[in-house]
Amino acid sequence: MPELPEVETVMRGLTPVWEGQRFTRVIANRPDLRRPLPEALGQRLTGAIVTRLDRRAKYGLVETDRGDTLIIHLGMSGRMRVDPETLEKHDHVVFETGNGRVVAFNDARRFGSLDLVATGEATAHPLLANIGPEPLGPDYGLPLLKRIFADRLAPAKAILLDQRLIAGLGNIYVCEALYRAGIHPETPGGVVSAAQLKRLAPAIPQVLAEAIAAGGSTLRDHAAPDGTLGYFQKDFAVYGREGQACVACATPVARIVQSGRSSFLCPQCQPRDKT
C-alpha cells in the first residue's frame, strides 16, 4: 500500500495539472470502489475550480472553490494517470480540466476510495479524524517520540505504525527508520532508550525526505502521475533484503513477522539492548 512518500509524490505530480484549473467533466465509470462513490460526484465537481492540493497522512486532499474537499485514498493499487493515450478497463473515475488535461483514477483491485466532503468538515471525516501529527510537520520531534513511547509495552514498530500516534508511516519506512536508529522492531516502547529515541527523531523525517526526493518506492503498482516509477527501493538498507549483507556491517539482514507483517532488521546493528 502506498505510504506517505508515495502519496506526497502523487499530489506533487497533480499540483501543476490541477491547481487553478476548472473541472469541465468528471465521469464515474462505476458506482463504487472500496466504498460507494459520493452521491452526484460528477455533478458536484464539474465546474469547480481546484484551489489547493495537499496531503494528510496517506490521503490526498483536493480543495475546490465550492467549499468541497476530495479525499483520495490510493489503496493497494490506485494510480492517478495523467493524459493517458487511451483509457483502460480500471480507469474508474476520469477528470477533465479546462486546460485540456485528463486524469484517470485507475485502481485494479478497487481498495482505494474517493470521498467528497465540505472542506470545513474534512478534519472530522472518519478517515482523518483520529490521525496523529505529521512526521514532516511542526508538531513532530523528539518530545513527541518521548511521549508516545513512554511506558508502552507495545513494540517500537507497532507504535510507529499506529496512525493515531503519528501520521502516515507504513511498513517500509518504519523498518528503514528503526534500522538507522539502531532499534530492534520488537523492543517495547518503554524500553527504548533516550539515546535511541534521539537517533530515531531525525531518522524518520530523513528517510521520508529521501524517499520523496526519489519519487517514492515502486514495489508493485506505485507510479507518479506522469508514469515515472519511484526508485527509493534501490536505497533500502533492510526492507526486502532478507539474507543480504547489511550495508554497515555485512551481517545478513533478517526477517521476522510481527502481527502478520514482515519486519526487516540487522541483528548486529539492531540488538534489543543496543543503546
Report the catalytic residues. Answer: 2-3, 58, 261
Within 51-193, where are the H helices? 142-149, 156-161, 171-181
Whether residue 74 contacts residue 2, with contact meaning beta carbons closer than 8 Å, is answered with yes
Q: What is the CA 97 to chain-centroid distance, rounded? A: 26
Q: How far apart are CA 170 and CA 207, in angstroms?
A: 12
In whole angstroms, what is the distance from residue 84 CA to residue 91 CA?
A: 10
Cell numbers that stand for 59 in this block: 490521503
Q: Are 54 and 64 in contact (CB under 8 A)?
A: no
Q: Please give the Cα distance from 135 to 204 (Å, whole number).
A: 7
Is residue 106 a contact partner of residue 118, using CB atoms and an 8 Å limit?
Answer: no
Give the other-Cβ count within 10 Å of 118's Cβ. Answer: 12
- Contact (CB, 8 A) for 174 and 183: no
Residues 19, 21, 27, 28: what is their CA dihedral angle, to the nearest 10 degrees?
Answer: 20
Helix (H, G, I), strand (E, B) or coil at 136: coil
CA separation for the pair 102, 212 (Å, rounded): 24
